[in-house]
Chains A and B, each alone.
Chain A
Amino acid sequence: MAFQILLNFILAFAWMFILNSFDASTFIIGWLLGLMLIIMMRRFFPGPVYIKRVWAILKLVLLFIKELWLANIQVFLLVIKPKLDIKPAIFRYPTKLTNDWEITVLSALITLTPGTVVMNVSEDKKTLYVHTLHVDDIEEAVTSIRDSFEKAILEVSRP
């Protein structure tokens, strides 16, 4: 992954030196040509082509924006209700993620989508304690987080 990006960088530089023109447009053309070569030679690398991971990161960002909109509209509807019939709850969320940054990104995503707040991470980093504003079915809440955010983060870290 990192090696591929470095190789692409070196190829783009080599392209600049071949053409003897050192500006941004030549560099970008060299980068695209290097990317084409790397995709052609993808069988020789141990991991997948890094574009896959870039695409996964982009998908994660888009998913976050979508969820932010949806959740804010939900909270708005809760606020303007004349009758307050919310059912707050704190539930355990067993996570499959292991790296520190993965857990941090997941917690940030859960917290920034209103209605749910990560309160705590257990010491063995296997459980997140999530407070939610309104929950009908805890199992459903857990699976919704698992299928949206955790899946997207897993795609970024282990494509």
Chain B
Amino acid sequence: MKSSDVILQTATKVVFFLIFLFAIHIFFAGHYTPGGGFVGGLLTASAIVLLLLAFDLKTVSRALPFNYTIMIAIGLLLALGTASASILFDVPFFTHAYDYFDLPLFGETSLHSAMLFDLGVYLVVVGATMNIILTIGSDD
């Protein structure tokens, strides 16, 4: 008796978006509340892993055509660039700057250069996790 994955696939189509949205929230919440780049990256990777469980490898690779190795490189460059940008302003390595900006929709927001570093961490975590899983998962 062959069975179909109709329940798993339909539930995944809804739950994937919820996990991804929560990952974005956790990423931005990292400054004042628990969360940050690492947890956000892992949550994003787990959402993609859920897709991989429900659908097959070919479908997911066609839907999300990311090269995760390049993603790791971009993340490392972002982190390193944010850290070394402080040299240009004649302050020690890894000195961060922040300021308050009046953005549309958000109102008074404090923008911190540590967020860019966190984005680098996020990209590295997503790339590394997905690289490990795809390398183990693919047959070739």
Place the interface of chain B in its size category.
under 10
Place the interface of chain A in its size category.
10 to 19
| CB contact between B10 and one of A100, A118, A122 (< 8 Å): that residue | A100
Q: How far is the CA of A100 from the CA of B10 in the complex (A)?
A: 7
Could you tell me if A123 and B7 are in contact, using CB atoms closer than 8 angstroms? Answer: no
B10, chain A: closest CB distance, angstroms:
4
Could you tell me if B4 and A121 are in contact, using CB atoms closer than 8 angstroms? Answer: yes
B9, chain A: closest CB distance, angstroms:
7
A127, chain B: closest CB distance, angstroms:
10
Please tell me if A107 contacts chain B, counting CB pairs below 8 Å: yes
* Chain A residues, CB < 8 A from B6: 100, 103-104, 121, 125
Count A-B pairs with CB separation below 8 Å.
30
Please tell me if B11 contacts chain A, counting CB pairs below 8 Å: yes
| CB contact between B7 and one of A121, A122, A124 (< 8 Å): that residue | A121
* Chain B residues, CB < 8 A from A101: 10
* Chain B residues, CB < 8 A from A103: 6-7, 10
Please tell me if B3 contacts chain A, counting CB pairs below 8 Å: yes
* Chain A residues, CB < 8 A from B1: 120, 122
* Chain B residues, CB < 8 A from A108: 7
B16, chain A: closest CB distance, angstroms:
14
Q: How far is the CA of A101 from the CA of B9 in the complex (A)?
A: 10
Could you tell me if A123 and B10 are in contact, using CB atoms closer than 8 angstroms? Answer: no
* Chain A residues, CB < 8 A from B11: 104
Please tell me if B2 contacts chain A, counting CB pairs below 8 Å: yes
* Chain B residues, CB < 8 A from A104: 6-7, 10-11
Q: Contact residues of A with B, CB < 8 Å?
A: 100-101, 103-104, 107-108, 118, 120-125
